[in-house]
Homo-oligomer: A and B are copies of this chain.
């Protein structure tokens, strides 16, 4: 089975970068650029495209989704304005096997809340505190090549209680200078898809240029893209089933 390159779509709201001077200085071309660059540098055999809020259908047409194995998602100011039809389409693709890497303030995006079923609220504070990211699952593929602890010099604080379902796997926990902790690296399996939430990445700091952060995102893209493609067609997996249907398929 000659598998194609992993096809990644880096989605970025890209509004702060256009409308806020302080952000424009850090990310003059939008956060999606360093995010995409990191993925390309770290992964071999990957095809990365970007898409942003302002494009028609937010750049997430049925065609783009059909050609996407893993999507990364950064949003904040325009969560409410993301079209429901697009959210519905992304949701279905995740359940059908597309990976989804949700970044930072994406925790309150429609798509993440829909997949989680909870409020996804958290505690926060903007003071540019030091964040330390700790690996609590050192053999997890998403932690490969990542130091057991690494420092992000200045970050928005995200703290518990974070209202998510208990993660299927917990990979990273962050601490902040002020004393808060946060489950900032969480794996979820939903339908045939895999989801990874990763909290670092405020728009006011150059977090997405930091090599360790890029490494985690690239690892997450690879992991989310490694879900097995179910080899049975959907109709054989679900819905009305004849009695002893599986005997007909038995190996002789």
A228 within 8 A of B: yes
The 8 A CB mask of A228-252 against B (1 = contact, 0 = none) is: 1111100011111111101101110
A88 within 8 A of B: no
Rounded to whole Å, the gap between the CB of A4 and the closest CB of chain B is 16
CA distance A227 to B85 in the complex (A): 36
Task: Report the nearest B residue to A115, measured CB to CB.
Answer: B117
Q: Do A163 and B134 have beta carbons less than 8 Å apart? A: no
Selected contact of A124 from candidates B143, B145, B241, CB within 8 Å: B241
CB neighbors of B among A114-133 (8 A): 114-119, 121-125, 127, 130, 132
User: Which 8 residue pairs are nearest across A and B when measured between Cβ atoms?
Assistant: A144-B228, A139-B227, A138-B230, A149-B246, A139-B192, A115-B117, A117-B117, A148-B232
Contacts of A95 in B (CB 8 A): 118-119, 163
Q: Do B180 and A161 have beta carbons less than 8 Å apart? A: no
CA distance A148 to B121 in the complex (A): 15
CA distance A247 to B53 in the complex (A): 37
Task: Report the nearest B residue to A246, measured CB to CB.
Answer: B149
Rounded to whole Å, the gap between the CB of A118 and the closest CB of chain B is 5
CA distance A177 to B188 in the complex (A): 31
Contacts of A125 in B (CB 8 A): 240-243
Q: Do B165 and A174 have beta carbons less than 8 Å apart? A: no
Contacts of A241 in B (CB 8 A): 123-125, 157, 159, 180
CA distance A190 to B166 in the complex (A): 8
Q: Do B163 and A165 have beta carbons less than 8 Å apart? A: no
Q: Do A237 and B161 have beta carbons less than 8 Å apart? A: yes
Rounded to whole Å, the gap between the CB of A84 and the closest CB of chain B is 13
Contacts of A135 in B (CB 8 A): 160-161
Rounded to whole Å, the gap between the CB of A174 and the closest CB of chain B is 7
Q: Do B127 and A243 have beta carbons less than 8 Å apart? A: yes
Selected contact of A239 from candidates B121, B145, B181, B246, CB within 8 Å: B121
A54 within 8 A of B: no
Q: Do B119 and A210 have beta carbons less than 8 Å apart? A: no
